[in-house]
Amino acid sequence: MPSLILKAYSLLFKYNLKRQLQTLIQSPVSVSVSVSDPFNGVVSRADESIVTCNPTFSNDGVATKDLHIDPLTCLSLRIFLPQSALISSTNSVSGTEGAYGGYQPDINGKGCKKLPVILQFHGGAWVTGGIDTASNDVFCRKLAKCCDAIVIAVGYRLAPESRFPAAFEDGVMAIKWLAKQANLAECSRSSLDKRIANGEKYRGRQIVDGFGASMVEPWLAAHLDPSRCVLLGVSCGANIANYVARYAVEAGKLLDPITVVAQVLIYPFFIGNIPTHSELKLANSYLYDKATCILAWKLFLPETDLDLDHLAANPLISGKETPLNLKHMPPTLTVVAQHDWMRDRAIAYSEELRRVNVDAPLLDYKDAVHDFATLNVLQKMPKAQACLEDISIWVKKHISLRGNELSY
């Protein structure tokens, strides 16, 4: 059973979350906004503890950088680059170009190692959380080091200011932007190679967009391997990751050169109209009880009449126009907790993936609660550390370069 300290913390956490949700429900924004408004995007809450980015390699060996890729929707990203991306330490010092004082990779790619990328979507019951919260920053740093990969945390729009499909659209936009970055980086390298072959000197020219702003992100241009992309979502972020995975399957070569090789769903925020056994038995479970989560769904879904069999909530429901087809989904690792009322539906989805021959293992943690591996106050617990190690082992199996696979 969970400890007394966790039980006490859970009561306080649920009280604060429920009060926040009720405040948002009664707010003028919630009453007036019934559909996504691209000009009213909110990606974080002012009352949450945040961590500023640090573009130099800190003591934990991870450098971070924030990007705003869409000014209309406030869509933002935080890049976590592990120091293992450097073949040598000579280019880990601060750069000297302009006023930027962070890590600058060599323009010719010298000393730069190509790494896979993990596109990460944070949790927070649709209304809280962010790429810069203490919990998400710590988790992504650990993930980047354990998996030896670039982690890109997606700051999608929150409800109720931006209801469905805003967060899902932001997830799709993030992977499209990543594909664009990979293509622009390749064009930039080809252009540079051509100039060098013609005996020209590099003058710092870069691919630019119509507004003249630089479009090539230097960290990704130097270190991104687009053929090894993993989607990872936490709680409601897992719902977004799963949607983006389905989009990637349907898009096919339109996302080239990005290839989604796997996805990780960490205690997904699934629900439905017909309650499962765990939803009945564990309705008043730790941290996130069912009644509070339904309030969150009311703030997120656009319909006047709440339908929990919405495609954003129930992954086993077919769309109005397209039947459910999971056989082409990427390998999917699902993480569930014993004391989480959402566990049964996540298990059912994992079983359905296996039924159509998708590699879909399930990690079920005993005496664990929803958010046990990602909540800041719980991340130092042995169970959280074991979960991160288990995830990294499975992810490495799918991102290892051919010929360098590890044995498991």
Q: Which active-site residues does the annotation give? A: 235, 340, 370
The answer to whether 74 touches 154, Cβ cutoff 8 Å, is: no
Q: 364: Cβ–Cβ under 8 A, 6 or more apart, which residues?
A: 336, 337, 338, 343, 347
Q: Which regions of 115-213 does DSSP assign to beta strands (E)?
A: 115-121, 150-155
What whole-number distance in Å separates Cα of residue 31 and Cα of residue 34? 8
Q: Residue 9 is which amino acid?
A: Y
**In terms of C-beta density within 10 A (0-12 exposed, 13-18 middle, 19 or more buried), how is residue 359 classed?**
middle
| Best CA proximity match to 220, nearest among 258, 190, 163, 192 | 258
**Token representation of residue 74:** 């406030």
What whole-number distance in Å separates Cα of residue 339 and Cα of residue 207? 51
In SS3 terms, 42-77 reads as CCCCCCCCECCCCCCCCCCCEEEEEEEEECCCCEEE
Backbone CA torsion sign across 104, 108, 112, 118: positive
**CA–CA distances in Å: residue 342 to residues 135, 279, 288, 359:** 21, 6, 10, 22
Find the angle CA(214)-CA(153)-CA(83) to the nearest 5 degrees: 80
At what angle are helices 4-26 and 290-300 packed, to 10 degrees? 30
